[in-house]
Chain A
């Protein structure tokens, strides 16, 4: 074994008690503590952006002004989108759960570059602060999170600082992805071959590849937008001979793969929860692992499906439509494989499993409605309507957020050594699940009927749909607040958890304490089997 610079501690104390001061947290290079810091940070942003969402829904209780004026509304939906995307959903699973779990699942003591990891966190925090300050100190931002040119060039609001904030958060995302790729390639425990890695690791791997390859492109795009405003370079500004549609190409070249940065780790979580709570091996391990990579690869080739009515050539539209329908295939494989995992298992409906089942249901809707949008003739009608809004919320919230909450409940005992309250958990889950459908199902309908997105006023024919949606949003909001409330209560006061309360087979449960010690394991774990070896057993 390697000699150890900090051998004096870290072998027996759990990571939560290895230094109690605030500084010991802020200066930590322990991947677990960094993961927890990310978790707290992104959940705060989730709360803020969630409140903004409630604001949007309340405004839409009636067709005209309810609680805010049009300019405020435009800023609110911009902020909701920008915060949710850049400060919550992109970093949520990879940076928070990934940081905590990746080394544990691989049998490593830390990520490959621990100090870079802490640096990434502060880069993220700095970028987020910059964006938030730009918004609070200035006049907000009203461009939509997509920053489409030339509106974003002309807008009088604080676009530059917000965009720079997003750029800086992108750097953090790149460094995290880089760190994870190096960790997965170089720090696997003895015996941990690629095909013995847990599927969450596979999903994180695919995600990291996208982060590393796609994020620099949004980086340069955002820099060009800043250059456009400051130096008036004219690349995207039609008034100076530039092409505003080019911005959309650049933007979606990143932001479409970014959709998979958001959903792939969620899929990874589901792949962990399903076998554990069914006490069955995951069905079709390799198909799930490779389909993550397949999705990552295809994700780079489909950005143009955001632009079917943008004025790009018919030929491009046809190619992009063709490539887009292909995404459905690896996605369908995953859904059916998860379902099959339950077959002849021994299923326990604890909260993590409930979230996993909610994911399956909601994500299936999100995926199926995606087919509408991939079909050219229908997308022309549905583009930029509430149908789109509903679709991506089914994927992002019905998919990723459900997976995140499933994962939080599943790993909470590992994070904090304490169990969450089961009954309260099920109640809150029901609120979230049913509220969510109430919130977004009507939006498919009014979207199909032509209700455009980002509309402050709307035609009164859509009123009922909007009102049902608003009621749903309050249910979801209440359910999620309750959940976060009891989770953080449980972190301190919950019932003590054993090392492996679920009987899982991945290393973070089998070889690490709850909560883990600073160096994760006593000695170096070795691996001689895949992590889903659930033998046939008597129920």
Chain B
């Protein structure tokens, strides 16, 4: 929430804060609260998942075999790597290592793209064989009449997560540009920290999605 920054280490913080630290702490606190709201947003979908899995356990069992476990697992690893690079990028920003920080952010973006590419192949395969949500479902192999609901939930959850990946990438690109312009330093790197927190959340949600959707039973 700052107006401007300097490259020399001192930072102009907004007038209603007592100090740069005060501003940093407040921003971080605000971001944590925001992450709670994100968890509540996904929470609704997790509950829908829980209810339908409770109602039709055998259907979930049957339908989940249609998901590609290997692609899912690879994507899990990819996202964990991206979280690691992002955490390191924040650390570098904190230590005034701007070039390293920028490189690590690029690595994070690379992993994020990889995740999306793999996801694209998963999606297109499913669309191709008619494993689609609700009314569009058109696959003869899975016999359970409620199977379309599984794929509705699958697409909703992974779709909303995918949207968050895109938003996260946008945030990282934004802080990356500002890093390259030299706007951050050990005295002021709040946006990097915040983008990092957001990215960890995106990763965390996938870590729940993967076993719940791909590894049933």
Contact = CB atoms under 8 A, between A and B. Distances in A.
Interface of A: 2-7, 103, 108-110, 112-116, 174, 178-179, 181-182, 185-187, 212-217, 219-221, 223-224, 227, 231-235, 237, 240-243, 246, 250, 519
7 contacts: A110-B15, A178-B33, A181-B33, A186-B22, A216-B44, A227-B152, A231-B134
A185 B29 contact: yes
Contacts of B1: 112-116
Contact of A215 (B27, B37, B145, B149): B37
Interface residues on B, range: 35 or more
Contact of B44 (A114, A224, A242): A224
B36 interface: yes
Interface of B: 1, 3, 12-19, 22, 25-27, 29-30, 33-34, 36-38, 40-45, 47-48, 51-52, 55, 133-136, 145-146, 148-149, 152-153, 155-156, 160
A246 B146 CA distance: 16
Q: Is the interface of A mostly helix, strand, loop or mixed?
A: helix
B136 A231 contact: yes
A331 B45 CA distance: 33
A221 B44 contact: yes
A248 to B, nearest CB: 13
B17 A217 contact: no
Interface centre among B22, B27, B44, B146 (most CB of A within 10 A): B44
Nearest to A111: B16
A3 B25 CA distance: 18
Contact of A219 (B41, B148, B155): B41
B44 A217 contact: yes
Contacts of A224: 44, 48, 156
Contacts of B13: 2
A243 B48 CA distance: 10
A231 B133 contact: yes
B26 A187 contact: yes
B33 A212 contact: yes
Contact of A186 (B14, B29, B42): B29
B12 A5 contact: yes
Contacts of A215: 37, 40
A190 to B, nearest CB: 9
B5 to A, nearest CB: 12
Contacts, number: 137
Contacts of A235: 48, 52, 134, 149, 152-153, 156
Contact of A220 (B15, B25, B41): B41
A486 to B, nearest CB: 34
Contacts of B33: 178, 181-182, 212
B21 to A, nearest CB: 11
Contact of B16 (A110, A116, A243): A110
Contacts of B15: 2, 4-7, 109-110, 519
B155 to A, nearest CB: 8
A39 B147 CA distance: 49
Contact of A233 (B16, B36, B152): B152
A217 B43 contact: yes
B3 A108 contact: no
A219 B19 CA distance: 36
A216 B18 CA distance: 32
A169 to B, nearest CB: 15
A71 to B, nearest CB: 27
B146 A241 contact: yes
A241 B149 contact: yes
Contact of B152 (A116, A221, A234): A234
Contacts of B44: 216-217, 219-221, 224, 250
B145 A216 contact: no
Nearest to A110: B16
Contacts of B45: 220
Contacts of A214: 40
Given A4-B15, A233-B133, A233-B152, 16 more contacts: A2-B15, A114-B1, A116-B1, A179-B30, A185-B29, A219-B44, A224-B44, A231-B134, A231-B136, A231-B152, A232-B135, A232-B136, A235-B134, A240-B148, A241-B149, A246-B48
B29 A241 contact: no
B48 to A, nearest CB: 6
A242 B30 contact: no
A183 to B, nearest CB: 8
B156 A2 contact: no
Given A182-B29, A213-B37, A108 B16 contact: yes
A216 B134 contact: no
Contact of B17 (A2, A174, A519): A2
A23 to B, nearest CB: 19
A172 B36 CA distance: 16
A212 B22 contact: no
A223 B44 CA distance: 11
A297 B13 CA distance: 36
A191 to B, nearest CB: 14
Contacts of B148: 234, 240-241
Nearest to B1: A113
Nearest to B38: A216
Given A114-B16, A216-B43, A186 B26 contact: yes
A216 B12 CA distance: 34
Given A216-B41, A220-B45, A2 B19 contact: yes
